[in-house]
Chains A and B, each alone.
Chain A
Amino acid sequence: EIVLTQSPGTLSLSPGETATLSCRASQGVSSTYLAWYQQKPGQAPRLLIYGASTRATGIPDRFSGSGSGTDFTLTISRLEPEDFAVYHCQQYGSSFPYTFGQGTKLEIK
């Protein structure tokens, strides 16, 4: 089973700044089968990025994903107030079970 470790646990930034979130896998994630989800309090997760770098439908271009192998990054440029949420990474490249990271909370500074 692939273990995903997200860092930092909490990131405090101001609107307009750039957020850089990390997701590190315990072993290589094949073919960049890595997704990112955003979750706001009391809401279900929402797909942001799949295939490590492809934005889902309707996701603004200030969200970008990168990485391969064991190191992946979600970058959020020009933070808007609605971007402050918890972000989860998930790998779907190995056999089941799929696994999630523990989440990074992006909070307003």
Chain B
Amino acid sequence: EVQLLESGGGLVQPGGSLRLSCAASGFMFSNYAMTWVRQAPGKGLEWVSVISGSSGITYYADSVKGRFTISRDNSKNTLYLQMSSLRAEDTAVYYCAKGRGTWINHFMDVWGHGTTVIVSS
């Protein structure tokens, strides 16, 4: 069974840092693009960042560019999101999702349960 399990969320002060992890199982992790999507309380989904399967190409939403870094360790089947200079508006549930399709054109066919990040003093 394909599974994604996020961890690392929590309460952090504005300006602080946090690293999210997403442990994958049940599929050949290195073959698939992986994405982080977030959802602020009561809001819709926001695409945050994507990383390719093996070459490590990355893209970011403008709202997080320069502050967040996506990475992956294919030997550990784990996706990461390093978040720094956190702001109140980064408060959200963060989901990792597995891509299906080509690198440029893929949808998210499996989602983790999410991990909650709260940025507050």
The finding on whether chains A and B are genuine partners in a shared complex, rather than unrelated, reads: yes
Q: A interface vs B, CB < 8 Å?
A: 31, 33, 35, 37, 43-47, 50, 56, 88, 90, 92-93, 95-103
Most buried by B among A90, A92, A101: A92
B110 to A, closest residue via Cβ: A47
Q: Bound state CA distance, A100 and B109, in angstroms? A: 15
Known: A102-B44, A103-B45. A45 touches B111 (CB 8 A): yes
Q: Is the CB of B45 within 8 A of A46?
A: no
Q: Is the CB of A47 within 8 A of B108?
A: yes
B118 CB-CB contact with A under 8 Å: no
CB within 8 A of B111: which of A46, A98, A100, A101? Answer: A46
Known: A100-B45, A103-B44, A103-B45. A45 touches B95 (CB 8 A): yes
A51 to B, closest residue via Cβ: B107
Q: Is the CB of B113 within 8 A of A88?
A: no
B73 CB-CB contact with A under 8 Å: no
Residues of B within 8 A of A102 (CB): 44
State how many residues of chain B have any CB contact under 8 Å with chain A: 25
Q: Is the CB of A97 within 8 A of B111?
A: no
Known: A44-B112, A88-B44. A50 touches B95 (CB 8 A): no
Say whether chain A's binding surface is mostly helix, strand, loop, or mixed: loop
Q: B interface vs A, CB < 8 Å?
A: 35, 37, 44-47, 50, 59-62, 95, 100-101, 104-114
Q: Can you show 29 pairs from A to B with CB atoms below 8 A apart? A: A31-B105, A33-B105, A33-B107, A35-B107, A35-B108, A43-B113, A44-B111, A44-B114, A47-B108, A47-B109, A47-B110, A50-B100, A50-B101, A88-B44, A88-B45, A90-B47, A90-B108, A92-B101, A92-B106, A96-B47, A96-B50, A97-B47, A97-B59, A97-B60, A98-B50, A99-B47, A100-B46, A102-B44, A103-B44
Q: Is the CB of B45 within 8 A of A45?
A: yes
